[in-house]
Amino acid sequence: MAVPTDRMNRRTATPAQIRRATGEAQARLRDLDARATADLRRIYEQAAADIEARIREAAGSGNLVREERLQHLRDQVQQRVAALSGERGDLLDQHLSEAAQQGTEPWSGAVEGNLQSIADDAVAFVRTFEASDGLQLSDRLWRLDRGANQAVRQVLENAVVQGHSASRAAADLVAQGEAVPESMQRTIDAARADTVAPRAADALLQGDRAPYENARRVFRTELGRAHNAAFEQAAFEHPDVIGTKFTLSPRHPRRDICDLHASANRYGLGPGVYPQGRNPYPAHPNTFSFIQPVFADEVSEDDRQNVEHPVDWLKRQPADLQAEVLGGQAKQRAFAQGLIGEGAINTPWRVIRQRLERQGIDVEALEVE
């Protein structure tokens, strides 16, 4: 029997070719992530250098940043962070579009849908997506700016205010013919421009929770979301795609909630395989996991017969893996005792703790190491 022409047009790319193209698209996404990280680092380093320079310029006699200059410096920091926000927004717009387009590329020649339209829809989805914490992308970007302002201003204000008080106290001591204590002198020195300026700049860049690192996590998470949203939408334009598989990256650093999503056969399509709109990717920020297409003829009868609820999968795992998936020992003990179910798998312990306390549960016993 002849194959209808329209079906042939949709199948000019074979599943094997699509899988190869999927791997290539993932490699390009990794390259994009590296470029985005470098671009992001560059603009944060420039902002840090500008803030450092402005603090040095504000120093008066004795290389001290005086308290009367503090409000002016606060305003300058706020203005520079606002400029940084605009630069970061332009970068994000550019890289989100590229990530989404990369997500559609494996389906070129395999589906009839408008791939550019699909990529545009994916970017729009990322911008309006509301995560389990109730935040959209715009909220996260606002928090990045607030965090950057607070990080720099805290260093600046602490040093200047404490240095000013110490400087006045030291002057009184000297006037009385007394020596200035070493601790007081250290506080004064901490307010000198050559000390406070680099510390304020470092507040933007250094540390796992520094504004730059938080921005990098947002970029990686949202670029991956755009890529995979476009990939999934294009995948289900193909008549033979039945699901997408949540796949652990070879760079998956440690066991966590991703291991559950990649292993449970919740829908009878195979371990880690989800129907359209059900794939839990990304399971957490900064993830390396990704999705792959699954075709109808790849689902076995064994897959169909052995549906497994995520809670049942988790119950089969050793306690240490349960703790890693759930995010802590206390939460694992609560799960083992039947105090929490599937709805709490992604819920932070601090929230669960409050719920259990209201129920009269001895949460301190769960937290004992």
Mind listing the pLDDT tens digit for each residue in 311-334? 999 999 999 999 999 989 999 999
At 1 the pLDDT is: 38
Dist. CA 296–CA 300, nearest whole Å: 9
Rounded-to-integer distance, Cα 312 and Cα 322, Å? 11
| pLDDT, tens digit (0-9, with 9 covering 90-100), for 148-172 | 999 988 888 777 666 555 565 555 5
Query: Where are any strands of DSSP class E within 152-199?
Result: none
pLDDT of residue 117: 96
Q: Where are the domains of the chain?
A: 15-214, 312-367
- Model's pTM, two decimal places? 0.82
**244-261 residues labelled b (16+ CB within 10 A) or e (exposed):** bbbbbeeeeeeebbbbbb
pLDDT single digits (tens) 187-227: 666 667 788 888 889 999 988 889 999 999 999 999 999 99
